[in-house]
Chains A and B, each alone.
Chain A
Amino acid sequence: MDIFGSINLWVLLASLMVAATPILLAAIGELVVEKAGVLNLGVEGMMITGAICGFAVAVESGSPALGFLGAAVGGAVLSLIFGVLTQVLLANQVATGLALTLFGLGFSALIGQGYIGVRPPAMPRLDIPVLAELPGLGRVLFRHDVIVYLSIALVAGVWAMLRYSRIGLILRAVGENHDAAHALGYKVVRIRILAIMFGGACAGLGGAYLSLIRVPQWTEGMTAGAGWIALAIVVFASWRPWRALLGAYLFGGIAVLQLNLQAAGVRIPVEYLSMSPYLITILVLVIMSSGRSRAALNAPASLGKSFHAQG
Chain B
Amino acid sequence: MKVTQLLASAAMALGLAASAAMAQDDPVKVGFIYVGPIGDFGWSHEHNIGRLAVEEHFGDAVETTYVESVPEGADAERVLTQMALSGHDLIFTTSFGYMDPTINVAQRFPNVKFEHATGYKTAENVAVYNARFYEGRAVIGHIAGKMTETNKIGYIGSYPIPEVIQGINAAYIHAKKANPDVQFSVVWAYSWFDPAKEADAANALIEQGVDVIMQHTDSTAPMTIAEDRGIVAFGQASDMANFGPNAQLTAIVDNWAPYYIERVQAVIDGTWESHSVWHGIAEGMVEITPISDRVPEDVRAEAEALSASIAAGEYHPFTGPLNRQDGTEWLAEGEVADDETLLGMNFYVEGLQGEIPQ
**A interface with B by C-beta (< 8 Å):** 6-8, 11, 15, 19, 22, 109, 112-113, 116-117, 210, 214-217, 219-226, 255-256, 259-260, 262-265, 267, 269-271, 274
Contacts and interface: CB of A to CB of B under 8 A. Distances in A.
A121 to B, nearest CB: 13
The 6 closest A-B pairs by CB, nearest first: A117-B242, A220-B39, A220-B37, A270-B357, A224-B194, A263-B204
Contacts of B95: none
B36 A262 contact: no
A97 to B, nearest CB: 19
A229 to B, nearest CB: 11
Given A109-B37, A116-B39, A219-B219, A264 B196 contact: no
Contacts of A256: 200, 204
A259 B187 contact: yes
Given A117-B243, A226-B196, A265-B185, A259 B204 contact: yes
Contacts of A269: 355, 357
Given A214-B199, A219-B40, A271 B224 contact: no
Interface centre among B40, B41, B69, B197 (most CB of A within 10 A): B197
Given A215-B195, A219-B221, A262 B187 contact: yes
Given A22-B196, A217-B220, 18 more contacts: A19-B200, A109-B39, A116-B39, A116-B242, A216-B224, A217-B221, A219-B39, A224-B195, A259-B187, A259-B189, A260-B204, A262-B187, A262-B188, A263-B185, A263-B210, A269-B355, A269-B357, A271-B357
A221 B193 contact: yes
B207 A222 contact: no
B357 A219 contact: no
A57 B219 CA distance: 23
A219 B200 CA distance: 16
Contact of B197 (A109, A219, A224): A224
B201 interface: yes
A259 B201 contact: yes
A71 to B, nearest CB: 16
Nearest to A115: B39
Given A214-B199, A259-B197, A219 B41 contact: yes
A149 B227 CA distance: 26
Contacts of B37: 109, 219-221
